[in-house]
Homo-oligomer: A and B are copies of this chain.
Amino acid sequence: MDQLFNPKSVVVIGVSENPNNLARVIAENLFEFQFHGEILLIGQKEGTLLGRGICTSMEDLREGIDVAVILTPAQTVPGILESCGRKKIRWAIIESGGFSEYSEEGAKLEKEVLRIAKKWGIRIVGPNGIGIINIENGFVAAFPPLNRKAVRKGKVSLLVQSGGVSLTYLNLLSSASVGISKIVSMGNKLDLNEIDYLKYFIHDPQTEIIGIYLESIQRGRDLLEMARSTSKPIILHKANTGETSKEIAKLHTAALANDDKIVETALKQADIIRVRDFRSFINAVKVLSLPPMRGNDLVILSRSGGIAIVAADSAERYGFRLFPMKKSFTDRIHSYFRAKVIRPTNPLDLGDLFDFDLYTKILEHVLRINAVDGIIFQHAAVGGEVQPSRKLIHKAKELSLLYQKPVAFCYLTEEEELAYIKRTFDYPIFIEPEDALSALAISREHYRKRKILREKPPSYSVNRSHVKRLIHKAKKEKRDPILPEAFEVLQAYGIPVADYQVVHRKEDLEKTMNKIKGPVALKVISPEISHKSDVGGVVLNIRDLSEAERVYSEMNKLGKRNFSGVLVQKMISDGKEVILGAKRDPYFGPVVLFGLGGIYVEVFKESSLRVAPINRPEAEEMISELKTASILKGVRGERPLDIKALVENLLRLSQLMMDLPEIEGIDINPVKVLEKGAVAVDARILLSIGHGV
């Protein structure tokens, strides 16, 4: 793919001398950004553009040009691609619109394009995007006119679905002291998609931070794996999250909607930093170009007491601790620098010290404190302070790198000076404390997550052939596993089930009742009844044999020809009900779910989920992140329940879903969490045949 981003020769197809011609701008951009490779132009009419002739026939091209950039009406694209194939061009950037995002016919056209590409071994960028921008070598093959002076070279590479969003990020990153290495606008992702480009960016030495804007995630699982494989930070702006944006996204880049709750958790699990708007993206990029925030201890240095207070409020909102400054520290500063006494507070108010060198010295002193993880330097300057402030910013950058701690520099001054600083300094400047603190929180979470990621999911030994047999049998009979098969699957995976026995003959009831003791539930066993409770197939709290026999007879009638007995199960009156579940997401694969049962789920509708496989910290988080889960810890003097056992069940359920692709979904509802242990009371398993989840 290096040939695509760093071609030696490129042909732009669709140009004309007409000033409104869009393909013409592609050529102009290549000139503007001083692309050093060979540039060839093809158009319908002969002419001259930027000192080069426009050729009217593909046939006249020499063979083996690296990249073709095509911006012609959609219906002409298949023919052009044929010509490219014949001329042994291996990469085509198609910027034309009018394909699947536009109409049925467009979609057909797209298929034809793909067919031709496959035939000739051509890989395609787009269609319906603005192609590729490589600031490093001037290969700027986009059709909107760009100004080289307004674009800043830097370390972020972007992978963007929409063209307009590409330009937005180009502008925002250029004025954020960070800069851009490469942008690819993927458009409809007909052939190459985010995974292909991502792989390239991960290996590209010029790319230090990867930014992604997507309206749909198709290869979710691959995305997660790629992200886990690299130490480069990945920031993802996933749009099209709501009901209202669905339709327009489909028209725009033919994007289908994902289940946003799954997207949210999946990205977190892979330490992909998710943002929801442009500003957060830029804040994330800024902070990730600083050393990492390794912990929670923050110092705020501020020239304004008022803004220090605003910063302290923000710090608390983002869960930082303001590291307590000791008097000995300020005493030392006092004696070293003969400054006026400053109070040993954090935020440290520098307002009365009008000495910029002293600011630098104090900054260094704070950075030297081992326990301090990061610093907000809140600066403001008026009039003559503008020049010394530039020096201060340089020093702050040096010190931040030297001590490998983030110094998030917030600077409030006149707009023009800010624009200058942002354009010329290679060090991110934040405007207000809220930005800097939200950014530091991103850095801290990124660092923390990297550590959690290292823990592998546990691996339990399981008698898989027994489970496979059970599933195979159900599958052959074109039905889902019924009780007790579903229980047996769980048990094979070490998920405990409340005591039960299967009774095939009424006369065996007595023995079973005596064995289980205490009240029991009877559940019908019949492959024809999938929602047992709805039809009277479950009867609870049976206390004596005569009642059990009566119920048995009724269930026999209910199950008809397919009745094969009942499951007698011990009633569990203690503990609290929770729900464990799993399903397969079309884009992210197996997902495990957890929630409380009963009134909690009805009123609060809380549940947590994770993409499988999960490791122990993830399973623990699934429980602790639910507000309702606090009732498991014991409220109103109740004793705490066995959350550890629940964690164990989640881990085992995760492995089950990984091992058994035949299983589409599982619903273990309820699981009773006890003071010791957590046992399944009912379970449904759905196979990929039929039902769906």
Contact = CB atoms under 8 A, between A and B. Distances in A.
Name the 5 nearest CB pairs between A and B, nearest first. Answer: A164-B304, A162-B306, A242-B316, A252-B305, A145-B383
B251 A349 contact: yes
Interface string A276-312: 1111000000000000000000000011111111101
B309 A215 contact: yes
Contacts of A422: 415
State the copy count for this chain.
2
Contacts of A630: 603
A501 B274 CA distance: 63
Nearest to A161: B306
A308 B248 contact: yes
Interface stretch (A165-173, A445-453, A485-493): A165-173
Contact of A380 (B167, B253, B380): B167
Contacts of A306: 160-165, 168, 213, 215, 239, 252-253
Interface of A: 20, 97, 144-147, 150, 160-165, 167-168, 171-172, 174-175, 213, 215, 237, 239-245, 247-249, 251-253, 276-279, 302-310, 312-317, 322, 343, 345-347, 349, 351-352, 354, 380, 382-384, 412-416, 419, 422-423, 431-435, 599, 602-604, 627-628, 630-631, 635-636
A354 B316 CA distance: 48
A345 B251 contact: yes
Contact of A310 (B239, B317, B343, B433): B239
14 contacts: A144-B382, A150-B415, A163-B304, A239-B310, A239-B313, A240-B309, A244-B312, A245-B309, A245-B313, A251-B345, A253-B306, A277-B314, A279-B432, A603-B635
Nearest to A242: B316
Contacts of A245: 309, 312-313, 316
A305 to B, nearest CB: 4
Given A168-B380, A635-B603, A316 B252 contact: no
A343 to B, nearest CB: 6
Nearest to A142: B382
A434 B313 contact: no
A358 to B, nearest CB: 15
A126 to B, nearest CB: 14
Contacts of A144: 382-383
Contact of A278 (B145, B252, B415, B434): B434
A562 to B, nearest CB: 32
Contacts of A628: 603
Contacts of A308: 248, 252
A575 to B, nearest CB: 16
Given A248-B345, A276-B313, A599-B631, 6 more contacts: A164-B307, A239-B310, A248-B305, A248-B308, A253-B305, A277-B432
Given A171-B412, A383-B146, A631-B599, A239 B434 contact: no
A599 B380 contact: no
A315 B244 contact: yes
Contacts of A602: 635-636
A384 B150 contact: no
Contact of A171 (B20, B150, B413): B413
A414 B145 CA distance: 12
A244 to B, nearest CB: 5
A489 to B, nearest CB: 31
Contacts of A243: 316
A313 B248 contact: no
A150 B381 CA distance: 13
Nearest to A604: B627
A174 B422 CA distance: 19
Nearest to A432: B278
Given A145-B383, A382-B146, A345 B247 contact: yes
Contacts of A413: 171
Contacts of A433: 277
Nearest to A635: B602
Contact of A423 (B304, B383, B415, B599): B415
